[in-house]
A and B are shown apart, each in its own frame.
Chain A
């Protein structure tokens, strides 16, 4: 019996994703890296005690919704590209390129890994916050639905973009430096941990180009009471705008990711890989 490459790639990808997920859960160092975000969010939420200015919503709820958005953002745009770059440098991409159906399976596995990780962290944050610091949860079906679509669209906006970034970044070390700075900038300017209206208008306008602000706003609309919308820039949740911006980023991400990943896979060969290893060893960046 001959298996078609498509179903075989999907099957191998799901198997691969499951195995990688198990490895991640067993890896204390990497897991604590993800859990620390949740812990920081809980500590900040426990520390702030004011209300969001002009509303009766606790500031901690705004902070938690913002951190929830940032979790998705970070996993898609920082952790995911780093995984891709590291595995490319170790030769996993080359091995899968040399394996029939390997690249589709690899992408399926990575998407599975990232989505499960992101949704898992989000669920953990919201559950832990609700239990420990009286955190926000959606009220009613409409809010749950909003949480679902904002999370889905938010991941669609950042994961393909993360794949594109991972495809072009050089080695893992430089990769981290190159993505961390803009990500931190967006974390501070997107109104994630304090109301965006407290920032100068030009900064707000710049942040509004990027997906993080809209992910945070969308999650606030799902998690905070409707009355809290008065603290938003437009005085409303602007959900159509949230959907529009995130969709544009998702489309842009896909348009970039497909050719860039294809190019990255096509460029892999044994000699290029060893040349990069030699370079990395000389700079002491890679353990032999």
Chain B
């Protein structure tokens, strides 16, 4: 019933997905591929259509048009066997408050054909000490880790993480990142992560897709995205006269080399700042906002999309 798909076939495959609510177009043709074992982060400003895209893939919303396949099935026709291969971690869950942690996990294990061992799973998410606790007495971070445990108890092949670390303290966030990395690296779970946290996206994701104005504007590794966005590196140093200088350049190595050729010795306070994901992100979002809507700079964007699909 659940054949292992060949690694060549993407786990998520979406082509030209559109979504219209009344007169409002939320998605104008989203193309997205996620490959087996990959962690893909979906970034984008609020209202760009992230949630709609994810919920179409989760099978919770009907798209207006386009082609979607998730684990080889159209999510609109996903049956129980298909559901069993998908895990969800949503930020809006506050359910089963009265249940005890281990009790809840053991119960949800019974729905799946080949569940993880609940005790091992508690250990994996670091909740062994809380096994007998009532769910509504858990802290926010622990509650979310329990949600992750519930999301993976059925050994999903694809895991959706919706802003998983919102409200976490730095330590809890770090532990959560280690957990997700372990799932992806050791168990080959494919992950679709939506987040506003660019550091998190950069740390966890193999590839990042940027959804702006209802389209995937770019998709690739953080370095590829930076190149595509033509974001420039910044070189800072202190000149001979003691003033601090900064210059933006495509080629920081050449600039530094030239600085050294003209200098007598070491250059004080020399610093090369690579474009961060944040620079790239803001650049893309602003480009969208500057153009009059999405269609004004159609040419440039279609180019970027084309590249994204190749990557």
* Given known A-B contacts A100-B84, A269-B55, A92 and B111 have beta carbons under 8 A apart: no
A90 at the interface (CB under 8 A from B): yes
Residues from 122 to 140 in B contacting A, C-beta threshold 8 Å:
none
Closest B residue to A89 by CB, please name it. Answer: B94
- Residue pair A12, B55 in contact (C-beta under 8 Å): no
CB of B34 to closest CB in A, whole Å: 18
- Residue pair B95, A91 in contact (C-beta under 8 Å): yes
Question: Hey, which chain A residues are within 8 Å of B88, CB to CB?
Answer: 95, 98, 270
- Residue pair B113, A2 in contact (C-beta under 8 Å): yes
B83 touches which of A16, A92, A100, A277 (Cβ 8 Å): A100
- Residue pair B150, A11 in contact (C-beta under 8 Å): no
| A-B interface contact total, Cβ < 8 Å | 87
- Residue pair B98, A270 in contact (C-beta under 8 Å): no
A165 to B117, CA, bound (A): 38
B237 at the interface (CB under 8 A from A): no
A190 to B164, CA, bound (A): 52
* Given known A-B contacts A2-B1, A98-B83, A100-B81, A105 and B111 have beta carbons under 8 A apart: yes
A268 at the interface (CB under 8 A from B): yes
A99 at the interface (CB under 8 A from B): yes
- Residue pair A270, B80 in contact (C-beta under 8 Å): no
- Residue pair A100, B95 in contact (C-beta under 8 Å): no
A274 touches which of B91, B95, B110, B154 (Cβ 8 Å): B91
- Residue pair B90, A91 in contact (C-beta under 8 Å): yes
- Residue pair B111, A12 in contact (C-beta under 8 Å): yes
- Residue pair A101, B80 in contact (C-beta under 8 Å): yes
CB of A100 to closest CB in B, whole Å: 4
CB of A284 to closest CB in B, whole Å: 16
- Residue pair A12, B90 in contact (C-beta under 8 Å): no
Question: Hey, which chain A residues are within 8 Å of B108, CB to CB?
Answer: 99
- Residue pair B95, A92 in contact (C-beta under 8 Å): yes
A15 to B110, CA, bound (A): 9
- Residue pair B107, A273 in contact (C-beta under 8 Å): no
- Residue pair A268, B60 in contact (C-beta under 8 Å): yes
- Residue pair A270, B51 in contact (C-beta under 8 Å): yes
Question: Hey, which chain A residues are within 8 Å of B112, CB to CB?
Answer: 100
Closest B residue to A95 by CB, please name it. Answer: B95
A173 at the interface (CB under 8 A from B): no
Question: Hey, which chain A residues are within 8 Å of B52, CB to CB?
Answer: 271
Closest B residue to A288 by CB, please name it. Answer: B94
CB of B48 to closest CB in A, whole Å: 13
A2 to B80, CA, bound (A): 13
Closest A residue to B97 by CB, please name it. Answer: A90
Cβ proximity bits A219-238 to B, threshold 8 Å, 1 near / 0 not: 00000000000000000000
Question: Hey, which chain A residues are within 8 Å of B61, CB to CB?
Answer: 269
Question: Hey, which chain B residues are within 8 Å of A98, CB to CB?
Answer: 58, 83, 86, 88
- Residue pair B113, A273 in contact (C-beta under 8 Å): no
A211 at the interface (CB under 8 A from B): no
- Residue pair A19, B103 in contact (C-beta under 8 Å): yes
Question: Hey, which chain A residues are within 8 Å of B93, CB to CB?
Answer: 90-91, 94-95, 273
- Residue pair A274, B92 in contact (C-beta under 8 Å): yes
- Residue pair A270, B55 in contact (C-beta under 8 Å): yes
| A–B pairs, 14, beta carbons within 8 Å | A12-B107, A15-B110, A19-B99, A91-B93, A97-B60, A99-B83, A100-B80, A100-B154, A269-B55, A270-B88, A270-B91, A271-B52, A273-B90, A274-B91
Q: Which 9 A-B pairs give the minimum distances between C-beta atoms?
A: A100-B80, A269-B60, A92-B95, A274-B92, A270-B90, A100-B84, A273-B92, A91-B93, A91-B95
Residues of B within 8 A of A (CB): 1, 51-52, 54-55, 58, 60-61, 80-81, 83-84, 86, 88, 90-99, 103, 107-108, 110-113, 150, 154, 162
